[in-house]
Amino acid sequence: MVKLLEVNNIRAGYGEIEIIHGLSLTVNKGEIVSIVGPNGSGKSTFLKSIFSLVDIMDGQITFQNEILNNAATDEMIKKGLSFVPQTDNIFPSLTVHENLELGGYISRKKLKDRLDLVYDLFPPLLAKKKKRAGTLSGGQRQMVAFGRALIMKPKLLLLDEPTAGLAPMYIQLILDKVKAINETGVTILMVEQNAKKALEMSDRGYVLAAGVKKYEDSGRALLENEEVAQLFLGG
């Protein structure tokens, strides 16, 4: 397997407050990897540390064998890394199409090709391309956020709680779209509150608690682990 992302003994947090305590993780090319755990376990903080959105106190992050620690956002995007935050991930006053166009500064030919790909992946957006993004349903807004991230053709897509706040009818739909994105060749690392559903679709998973890694295994093995199920999966 080709190692795409490697995180070694990261300590991270906000100012002097350490939330992540020496976490390590790897993501191989083509995988879907999920990070699950109880609320307050540091999942989102860990994901943000990879994209330099929180303070890194120690450790090293490498992407395609290049050190990524505290890299600028535009530099990471150019290297092939994209991040979809849980909130504030679209421009509600702009149309769907305008949101997608702002996904990256590339040639008009490339932009057209990428827009065609996004509309193929998310057919509801094509029908609503002239609508203001803020008028869409939660699930459709999330599709816009995914689409914006895909415009730059990332190698690795970081997703922070992609189903958070969605109506039940949209949860499986959005996770199916994550799978569809992966099938286009994009590697996925996501934090997800619906742990069982996330692990079912993941090649591998990590279980976090109180800022440390408790378990690491294949998605299936974690689902079948009785201790993981009782402590972290509600059953």
pLDDT digits (tens, 9 = 90+) for 173-203: 999 999 999 999 999 999 999 999 999 999 9
Q: Are residues 58 and 122 in the same domain?
A: no
Q: Are residues 38 and 86 in the same domain?
A: no
Q: Is residue 162 part of a domain?
A: no
Q: Are residues 61 and 93 in the same domain?
A: no
Of 13, 10, 9, nearest in space to 55 by CA: 13
> Residue 8, SS3?
strand
Q: Does an H or E element contain 34, and which? A: strand 32-36
pLDDT of residue 13: 96
Of 191, 202, 187, nearest in space to 161 by CA: 191
CATH of the domain at 6: 3.40.50.300
Q: Is residue 164 part of a domain?
A: no
Structure tokens at 182: 């992966």
Q: Are residues 63 and 94 in the same domain?
A: no
* Alpha-carbon gap, residue 160 to 149, rounded angstroms: 13
Query: Exposed, middle or buried by CB within 10 Å (0-12, 13-18, 19+), for 70?
Result: exposed
* Alpha-carbon gap, residue 108 to 78, rounded angstroms: 17
Cα diameter, the chain: 52
Q: Is residue 166 part of a domain?
A: no
Q: Is residue 167 part of a domain?
A: no
Q: Does an H or E element contain 22, and which? A: strand 17-28
CB 219 within 8 A of CB 199: yes
Q: Are residues 2 and 70 in the same domain?
A: yes
CB 229 within 8 A of CB 223: yes
* Alpha-carbon gap, residue 222 to 156, rounded angstroms: 23
pLDDT of residue 191: 97
Residue segments in the chain with a per-residue pLDDT below the cut of 50: none
pLDDT of residue 104: 78
Q: Are residues 149 and 190 in the same domain?
A: no
* Alpha-carbon gap, residue 136 to 36, rounded angstroms: 28
pLDDT of residue 95: 97
Host domain of residue 107: 81-153
79 phi/psi in degrees, rounded to 5: -75, -15
Q: What is the pTM of this model?
A: 0.94
Structural domains in the chain (count) = 2
Q: Are residues 68 and 88 in the same domain?
A: no
